Chain A
Amino acid sequence: MPVASEALSSAGVWVNRSLFLLSLRRALRGGWLVAALALVCALWVADSPSGGLELGAENGPRIERGLERRAMWTAVCLLVVPALVIAAAREAAMRREGGAAWLTSSAAPQRVVLASTWSGLCAAAGVGVLGLSAAAELAAGAAGATALRSAGNLPIEADEGAVRADGLHWRSPAPADLPPRSRARLELSTWSRGGPATEITLKVEREGGGEGTILEDRLARAAIVELDLPPGEGDFLFTLVRRGGGAAVVLEPAALSLLVPAASERLASVALASRLLLALAAWCALGLGLGAWMSARGAVAVLAGAQALVWLSAGPSGSWLPAADWAEALSWVGEGIVPPPPTAAAWLGTGAWVLFGLGLARLGAACGWSRA
């Protein structure tokens, strides 16, 4: 029989297959999968989330599919995420409280025990997110012919953001390698001192000449308008004109986004799934880490509080925090637009949180205080 010291000292053994499968199995139990399935079915048969909204002929179907997707992701996430985080915290707390003497007295190094448990939880997260993505796409129905992806903001180079009588002119540098059929998306709001609504004309041309693109629309309160960006050379020259009287129009800061063609609308679910998987990897590791020091309830409460703080306070610089841009990504999806993929900072941040969480769990297991 091979002795433990030989097998345990072999380099590269980080995951015990049997413990990984046990962790996966435990994370998937508890009926949350059944509850998630029931919720998916309920959402499926419910009315379209667009309700009575008037969605315009051009972008309406795309936005309607986006709203279906967003509703499914929002509702089912509320079930899947807590279930997995609770499973992680409960597993660690159970070990801390002596409920797994067979494991805590085993010869396996803590790194193997923790890595196996965490990877099992992540695999369960993968199963849940895969099912959620499939449900969201089934709910959204057939994808449209043209899909758009958010490619960041276009800078607005102008002195003021309010439309005067002669209109507002501004310049936006064109990104290199701009794909054809790209669009600009503007967030506008009205200021109703002069009336409840107003009509606008938005025009964009290239500095190097050529035919521009014109959009005419009627705005009431906040509105999002999209127009095609013309091909050509040089910067984009925008002109926003208010026709007639009515409300003043305000161009919000950082309100000009670039939308580029995407391979498929379904990439929206891929972008959300990758964000959620990254966040769940971090949350499960933190759940294991906190559960090694406190009760499962306490660990979940601390994590929920910290995440609420992240969502309330994290700005653009907080993208290394778990799911910091989740609300923004959901908002894109609701407009039928594919959110940008997670940033490098999100990947690096997740890695750091995972290491921190597992380190905390290892310290808790090694420290006599936690077992007292």
Chain B
Amino acid sequence: MNDGEREGAIFARGLCRSYPIKLGFARREVLRGVDLELPRGAVLGLIGPNGSGKSTLLRLLAGVDAPSSGVLAVLGGSPFDAVVRARTGYLPEDSPFPGELSARAVLELIGTLGGMTRSAARSRGDELLERVGLHDHARLALRRFSRGMARRFGLAQAWLQSPDLILLDEPSAGLDGEGFEALDDLLAEARGRGATIVLASHLSADVHERCSELALLLGGRVAARGTPAELLSRPDCWRLEIEALEPALVEELRVWVDDHGGRVRSRVPGGRTLLELYRSASPGGKGVTG
């Protein structure tokens, strides 16, 4: 590996990962030679159908699992290196955090394991719980959290050490409107300080709006790479959102499109977002959690 490759956030060559099956007499290959390079500060979306290897690739990048073969460097070092790990934040697909502990205690535990002092971990944890809207639930055991709350907690722990590389596995799964807002806020903060983000998702909205680049995983390999516009846009298809126009004029617009050979495939009235609805319905107007 040369110095140029080490400068990037991620460098992977021929990365393979397989699991033993049938009592160890056979192996199932999940990654079959992933080649991936990512510069620092990029926001990469990993897309692909179920079983394509997105979560497995993130686990390798986070140093949870070891590759079966291939070369992998993260932030210029091994993902198993303590210094690299301390600069990496990881949100796993599920939420396997210690359910018997409170949100605050788990953040303190994760922070101190990462090398933070207890007081630093506690104050940073409180700040992040506030940002993801869980401050009122800081003393609640994690096993009592709903799926959305657990997901928001997962975001908080991934940002705990202000990491330079953030790995997010299905970050928006189970999030409510306020959770989406918290995710966007955290992503904006991370992008602002030049952190690299890798985000695996099935939702086109996630990757379209939040990623600067996409990598399509198919059969354990990177099958395509490009910007969201390159991979997901159709040059002959547009989505318009129209405000402040009378319904009759909208109908005229539809007729005009038809007359020019186009076709309006969907026409639904716009409305408030769910978050706006929640906020308007809650007494303090600050939204509801959980």
Contact = CB atoms under 8 A, between A and B. Distances in A.
B243 to A, nearest CB: 43
Contacts, number: 109
B36 interface: no
Contact of B120 (A2, A19, A99, A104): A2
Interface in A1-35: 1-8, 16-19, 22, 25-26, 29
B117 A7 contact: yes
Given A26-B100, A102-B96, A102-B97, A372 B18 contact: yes
The CB with the most chain B CB atoms within 10 A, among A2, A7, A18, A366, is that of: A18
A4 B116 contact: yes
14 contacts: A1-B161, A2-B116, A4-B114, A4-B115, A6-B115, A16-B112, A18-B113, A22-B100, A25-B100, A101-B90, A101-B92, A102-B157, A105-B88, A368-B68
Interface in A222-263: none
Interface in B118-142: 118, 120, 124
A98 interface: yes
Contacts of B65: 98, 371
B152 to A, nearest CB: 15
A217 B93 CA distance: 77
Contacts of B98: 22
A194 B118 CA distance: 79
Interface stretch (B101-109, B176-184, B213-221): B101-109
Interface stretch (B56-64, B143-151, B230-238, B247-255): B56-64
A107 B59 contact: no
B85 interface: yes
Contacts of A100: 96
A14 to B, nearest CB: 13
B86 A101 contact: no
Nearest to A6: B115
B64 A105 contact: yes
A163 B9 CA distance: 87
Nearest to B67: A368
Q: Which of A4, A26, A29, A98 has the most CB atoms of chain B within a 10 A radius of its CB? A: A4
A270 B113 CA distance: 36
Contact of A372 (B20, B88, B106, B114): B20
A144 interface: no
Interface in A56-97: none
B66 interface: yes
Interface of A: 1-8, 16-19, 22, 25-26, 29, 98-109, 112-113, 366, 368, 371-372
B83 A106 contact: no
A105 B58 CA distance: 11
A1 B67 CA distance: 32
Contacts of A19: 109, 113
B25 interface: no
B162 interface: yes
B110 interface: yes
Across chains A and B, which 6 residue pairs bring their CB atoms closest together, nearest first?
Answer: A4-B86, A4-B115, A7-B115, A368-B66, A107-B86, A18-B109
A29 B100 contact: yes
A16 B111 CA distance: 11
Nearest to A104: B64
A99 B98 CA distance: 10
A107 B113 contact: yes
Contacts of B161: 1, 4
Contacts of B96: 98-102
B229 interface: no
Contacts of B64: 98, 101, 104-105, 371
A107 B113 CA distance: 6
Contacts of B27: 372
Interface in B180-197: none
Interface string B15-53: 000111000000100000000000000000000000000
B113 A1 contact: no
Nearest to A113: B113
B227 to A, nearest CB: 29
Contacts of A7: 115-117
Nearest to B96: A99
B80 to A, nearest CB: 8
B82 interface: yes
Given A101-B96, A371-B66, A5 B83 contact: yes
B112 A2 contact: no
